Amino acid sequence: MSNATQPVELDGKDLPAYCPNPAMPLWSSHPRVFLDFKHGEAKCPYCGTQYKLKPGTEVGHH
């Protein structure tokens, strides 16, 4: 599974964000989990992939 050292950067068009993300290969699939960003960062509980929001990205309230 993808556990890259560099976080995956997301912006507003990528929200709501989930993992596995669309760029991940099929073999690395796990159940889809929506990410909860705290201080602009989130970590997938399944594969450990790190995500961060690009500077200036605002998380909308649903």
Residue range 17-60, pLDDT digits in tens: 999 988 888 887 899 999 999 999 999 999 999 999 999 887 76
Residue 18 falls inside a structural domain:
yes
d(CA 52, CA 37) in angstroms, rounded, equals 8
Count how many domains the chain has.
Answer: 1
Angle ∠(13,26,49) on CA atoms, nearest 5: 60
Q: Is the pLDDT of residue 4 over 60?
A: no
d(CA 52, CA 33) in angstroms, rounded, equals 16
Q: What is the pLDDT of residue 27?
A: 81
For 18, the domain range is: 8-53
Residue 40 falls inside a structural domain:
yes
Residue 16 falls inside a structural domain:
yes
Residue 22 falls inside a structural domain:
yes
Residue 19 falls inside a structural domain:
yes
Q: Where is pLDDT greater, at 33 or 2?
A: 33
Is the separation of the CB atoms in 14 and 58 below 8 Å? no
Residue 1 falls inside a structural domain:
no
d(CA 22, CA 14) in angstroms, rounded, equals 10
Read off the pTM: 0.79
